[in-house]
Amino acid sequence: MKSRKKLLEYLKQINSVYPEQIKVPETVKGFCDETYGKHSHIYITTSSMAMRLQLEFLLKQQGFKVFPDYDPKGTRVDVEVSYFKGWHWDE
């Protein structure tokens, strides 16, 4: 499982190729996240459905665990990352 930090680094690289197509926070604290038990997820907003599909493909190639069934007709990508105390971590 890859970390939030690795995800942020990779998203910044992608953002240099696809400027303004992906909402990339300045730091890992800026991610939209949820943690349930020992499963932590980051949600990434893209500019379009096509960009979402492209991002899912690129993340999978880099070894990230992507959940394509999350928001199947929308523009958000769900990526599982290594555990951290995100939103809901104490429930």
Q: Is residue 61 part of a domain?
A: yes
Q: Is residue 9 part of a domain?
A: yes
Please enumerate in sequence order all residues whose Cβ is within 8 A of that of 77, keeping only pairs 6 or more positions apart, or say none: 43, 44, 46, 52, 55, 56, 59, 66, 70
Q: Is residue 88 part of a domain?
A: no
Q: Give the per-residue pLDDT at 62.
A: 96
What CA–CA distance (Å, rounded) separates 24 from 79? 14
Q: Give the per-residue pLDDT at 79.
A: 96
pTM over 0.85: yes
> Which pair of structure tokens corresponds to residue 20?
């303004």
The count of structural domains within the chain is 1
| Length of the chain measured in residues | 91
Q: Give the per-residue pLDDT at 53.
A: 95
Average pLDDT, integer, range 18-24: 88
Q: Give the per-residue pLDDT at 26.
A: 85
Expressed as residue numbers, the domain containing 63 is 4-81
Q: Is residue 90 part of a domain?
A: no
Q: Give the per-residue pLDDT at 37.
A: 79
CA-based diameter of the chain, in Å? 38
Please enumerate in sequence order all residues whose Cβ is within 8 A of that of 60, keeping only pairs 6 or more positions apart, or say none: 66
Q: How confident is the model at residue 74 (pLDDT cuts 50, 70, 90)?
A: very high
